[in-house]
């Protein structure tokens, strides 16, 4: 839901034989919409993935190192059929080498450690197969998310009919697998003379359409 604030300024001009004046008024309009149902997101395994220790000698020197793939289940349960969308917010902004994916933080030397890629698979709404559509303008227009990536930044995502990606569909119980893997940046660009912790942190945020 969005709350909008709009100002209107009205000016009146009388005929030349009467004194001219401008009305000193302004109108304020505040609008919104209260939805009868709310939605709650959840992630399997508490949303936790732990790669443990990775030896620096096992990292690629001149290309990125892709770590093992992991999977989590994302569910969004609503109190009734609800038109909704969701975003992935990076809680460590400006630490990723790719604008679309979560960052893995910085080394003590302020080098970007890497990123985490997240993709949708097996998405369903109320037990019916759906595709994930994407919006880059706050939900005004929607298009097919061809890569099925769960992107950060201004991207919003929503379930839609497989034959019409331009219209999100209401959902009571939405579920999707998230295919997740981390990538460590090329090792010759990282200072790894001591242990360096890497961590991604993201928040799934639900928006009502």
Is 3 among the domain residues? no
Can you tell me the distance from the alpha carbon of 186 to that of 140, in angstroms, rounded to the nearest whole number? 39
> What's the pLDDT at 30?
57
Residue 54 contacts residue 66 (beta carbons within 8 Å): no
Can you tell me the distance from the alpha carbon of 7 to that of 9, in angstroms, rounded to the nearest whole number? 7
Can you tell me the distance from the alpha carbon of 203 to that of 39, in angstroms, rounded to the nearest whole number? 15
Is 18 among the domain residues? no
Is 27 among the domain residues? no
Q: Name which residue leads in pLDDT, 29 or 207.
A: 207
> What's the pLDDT at 74?
95
> What's the pLDDT at 111?
95
Proportion of the chain above pLDDT 70, given as a percent: 83
Is 20 among the domain residues? no
> What's the pLDDT at 3?
27
Is 197 among the domain residues? yes
Backbone dihedral angles phi then psi of residue 158, each to the nearest 5 degrees: -155, 150
Is 17 among the domain residues? no
Average pLDDT, the chain: 85
pTM, 2 dp: 0.81
CATH number, domain of 199, equals 2.60.40.1090
What are 155-205's pLDDT values in tens digits?
999 999 999 999 999 999 999 999 999 999 999 999 999 999 999 999 999
Is 10 among the domain residues? no
Is 12 among the domain residues? no
Mean of the pLDDT values across residues 99-121?
Answer: 94
What are 2-48's pLDDT values in tens digits?
322 233 222 223 333 445 555 676 565 455 545 556 899 999 999 99
Beta bridge partners of 82: 171
- SS3 letters for the chain? CCCEEEEEECCCCCCCCCCCCCCCCEEEEEECCCCCCCEEEEEHHHHCCCCCCCCHHHCCCCCCEECCCEEEEEEEEEEEEECEEEEEEECCCCCCCCCCCEECCECCCCCECEEEEEEEEEEEECCEECEEEEECCCCCCCEECCCCECCCCCCEEEEEECCEEEEECCEEEEEEEEEEEEEECCHHHCCCCCCCCCCCCEEEEEEEC
- Give residue 138's domain range: 36-208
What's the number of domains the chain is made of? Answer: 1
Task: Evaluate the CA torsion angle 86, 160, 208, 7 in order and state its sign.
Answer: positive
> What's the pLDDT at 10?
28
């Amino acid at each position: 839901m969005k709350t909008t604030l709009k100002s209107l300024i009205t000016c009146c001009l009388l005929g030349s034989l009467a004194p001219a004046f401008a009305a000193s008024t302004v109108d304020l309009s505040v609008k919104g919409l209260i939805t009868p149902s709310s939605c709650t997101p959840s992630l399997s395994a508490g949303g936790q993935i732990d790669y443990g220790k990775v030896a620096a000698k096992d990292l690629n020197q001149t290309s990125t190192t892709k770590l093992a793939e992991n999977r989590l289940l994302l569910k969004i349960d609503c109190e009734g059929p609800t038109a909704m969308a969701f975003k992935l917010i990076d809680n460590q902004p400006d630490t990723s080498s790719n604008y679309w994916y979560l960052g893995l933080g910085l080394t003590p030397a302020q080098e970007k450690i890497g990123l985490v890629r997240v993709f949708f698979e097996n998405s369903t709404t109320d037990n019916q197969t759906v595709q994930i559509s994407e919006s880059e303008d706050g939900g005004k227009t929607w298009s097919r998310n061809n890569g099925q990536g769960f992107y950060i930044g201004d991207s919003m995502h929503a379930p839609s009919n497989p034959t019409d990606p331009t219209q999100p569909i209401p959902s009571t119980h939405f579920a999707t697998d998230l295919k997740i893997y981390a990538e460590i940046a090329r090792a010759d660009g990282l200072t790894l003379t001591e242990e360096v912790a890497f961590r991604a942190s993201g928040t799934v945020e639900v928006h009502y359409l």
